[in-house]
Amino acid sequence: MRRKLAAGNWKMNGVSTQLAEVEALCAAHPSPRVDLLIAPPATLISSMVVSAANHALEVAGQDCHGEKNGAHTGDISGEMLKDAGASYVILGHSERREDHSESDDDVRSKARAALAADLKVVICIGESLEEREAANTLEIIAGQLAGSLPDILTGENTVIAYEPIWAIGTGKVPTLAQIGEVHDFIRSKLQTRFGEGVGRSIRLLYGGSVKPSNASEIFNVSNVDGALVGGASLKAEDFSGIIKALEDAI
């Protein structure tokens, strides 16, 4: 049985005073029945690890470089994230792919580096509105899966997050049938490539305007093992509602 996962991506939001939200979240869920993960800005990773001490909440980086170290001003390596206390890293988010022109090859290289640093990876994939309207969604997803995933993945070290770009931060959400179609397709592709056991063990998250008000119905969709949450993860009360909905879906 795949353990459910509620992951929050703070993006470029948060200073030290916002750690109070993490402390409130931990207090509200002293013994969560699902895995909890937050990816703060790199400046808060070490502090968040301290705030979540003695709690099940894990901390993630939002990106890492494909090299272990070197002359890469402004970048951060997987080894550095691990040293700061992170246990996961998010890779291939659409904002990285678009704002920084990251390719599938770049994401695969980063995933290899992160896994070598003993980090778990959350690899993001998803189509644009134009691709959705052109009925190319599954073709795009298949290409991103083939190009972004290294061959060394397992259910213990890898999570896949499906985030339709047109739904991120827009309030727009695909229909439940659309979400189910893509998640079932991803599961099939993973089983074909990595084998039945590994393919079934990798957790699949949905991301894109997930809120307490719509979380329950999303979590009841086939092959949805949790969510990668953006804005709603910044406030303990909002994220807590999503966590409770995920626990109710077990």
pLDDT tens-digit map of 201-232: 999 999 999 999 999 999 999 999 999 999 99
- The set of catalytic residues is 93, 163
List of domains in the chain = 5-248 (3.20.20.70)
- C-alpha dihedral sign at 140, 143, 147, 148: positive
What ranges make up the beta strands (E) of 86-233? 88-91, 120-125, 158-162, 203-206, 226-229
- φ and ψ of 40, to 5 deg: -85, 175
Residues pairing with 206 in the sheet: 162, 227
Going by C-alpha positions, the residue among 246, 248, 247, 233 that lies closest to residue 25 is 233
* Amino acid making up residue 73: T
Residue 7 three-state SS: strand
Model pTM score: 0.97
49-52 own/partner pairs: CB under 8 Å, 24+ apart: 49/84, 49/85, 49/86, 51/19, 51/22, 51/23, 51/26, 52/22, 52/26
Residues pairing with 122 in the sheet: 90, 159
pLDDT tens-digit map of 56-109: 999 999 999 999 999 999 999 999 999 999 999 999 999 999 999 999 999 999
* Amino acid making up residue 129: L
